[in-house]
Chain A
Amino acid sequence: MTHPPYLYPGYRSTVLRAPARELVMPKLGPDSIELASPVFGHQELGRLDDDLTAQHSGEPLGERIIVTGRLLDASGRPVRGALVEVWQANAAGRYAHLGDRHPAPLDPNFTGAGRCLTDDEGRYRFVTIKPGAYPWRNHPNAWRPAHIHFSVFGTAFAQRLITQMYFPGDPLFAYDPIMQSISEQKDRDRLVSRLDMDTTTPEWALGYQWDIVLGDTPMEA
């Protein structure tokens, strides 16, 4: 199991929110609702939804980057036309969210939310700026490594995934209980993007590659 457990006391908020009872493992028939997924079309998205640097009148501050990769099923097949949603802090580590009290500046040219649909190869692509690390109140001197939140749909509601993408070599990984809640290093590594010089655009933006793999869809045995 690559997923973290529900209860991971190092991440304090799990203590009262983690289910404690045994999960029920239903036998799903081929027509089960959990094996189908909502479908999204291009007309439902805005033209600038995949370029987080172009949603305001000016350019946001920070390091412009391209983040791209493929959405795959457990057999490595591309998942096409899937909705991918992202949100992130700005370059200073501040979210455009009323609840974010970090005394770092907001950027009037950066909201930090985007959407796109995967193409025929299962590929998503966003232009954005590299988010900053930010403090949180989990424990004294707690800091989150820089990350972009990802929300994806597959071909089954059972595959629905929300996760976070990190940047290679971040020295905060070892101190982050959210990342460390995943027990195996090889699984934590699955959340780390890699710098890719083929995605990098000369004189313009560094490129990062990160593939997302969805879980199996459970069928009636």
Chain B
Amino acid sequence: MTDILDTVPDLAPTPSQTVGPFFGYALPYAEGPEVVPGWHPDAITVRGRVLDGAGAPVPDALVEIWQADADGRVPSGVGGLRRAPHDFSGFGRCATDPAGQYWFRTVKPGASGPDAPHIAVLVFARGLLKPVRTRLYFPQDAGAHEADPLLSAVPAERRPTLVAEAVAEAVSEAGGTRTYRFDIHLQGERETVFLGI
């Protein structure tokens, strides 16, 4: 007997369309930028701006991140939207503000296999007919970057666009939080490396 699914031909994917300008009351949610709770001892902040080809901020972009935990494990349980209070969801979503800025509070992911620690980043925006995908790597892992299969496939002069910049400790009620800046240039001289996946 043949499994009926084996007889189904490959289907063409549904085409992408822009997220448009009016997603702001539907997709963002309160805990979206908080991949870990604020009291988490290893919390880091990742923030940056989304910029267009003229260097102008993109105030209507939606940034999503997806990552492994501090031990390099990819979350497999539910909780993408409503992280349990003590948990780590691995998924974050933040709409850019009028200055094109986004932020996330998360932990630095652990390494897994040959890959240097990284966060998958996806950006949707008005004017993007399909999302741009990239990865955020960390500046202190320069050694591991040499061996990273993805970074190795990127021309050396463009690799810095994938590495966040450490900025001075920011002080919150909870104390110091290590902060990384990762600007995403959709176009232009410093265009971020985007992935064709």
Contacts and interface: CB of A to CB of B under 8 A. Distances in A.
A188 B21 CA distance: 21
Contacts of B119: 33
B101 interface: no
Interface stretch (A14-22, A58-66, A121-129): A14-22
A47 to B, nearest CB: 14
Interface string B159-173: 000000000000000
By DSSP majority rule, is chain A's interface helix, strand, loop, or mixed?
loop
A217 to B, nearest CB: 8
Interface in A40-88: 40-41, 43-45, 72, 74-77, 83, 85-87
A13 B20 CA distance: 10
Interface residues of B, number: 75
A140 B127 CA distance: 18
A97 B22 contact: yes
Interface residues of A, number: 80
By DSSP majority rule, is chain B's interface helix, strand, loop, or mixed?
loop
Interface of B: 5, 8-27, 52-54, 56, 58, 60, 64, 66-68, 74-82, 89-91, 112-115, 118-120, 122, 124-133, 149-150, 153-154, 158, 186-187, 191-197
Interface of A: 2-6, 8, 11, 13-21, 23-29, 31-34, 36-41, 43-45, 72, 74-77, 83, 85-87, 89, 95-97, 99-100, 111-113, 149, 151, 153, 157-158, 160-164, 178-179, 181-182, 186-188, 190-191, 211-216, 218
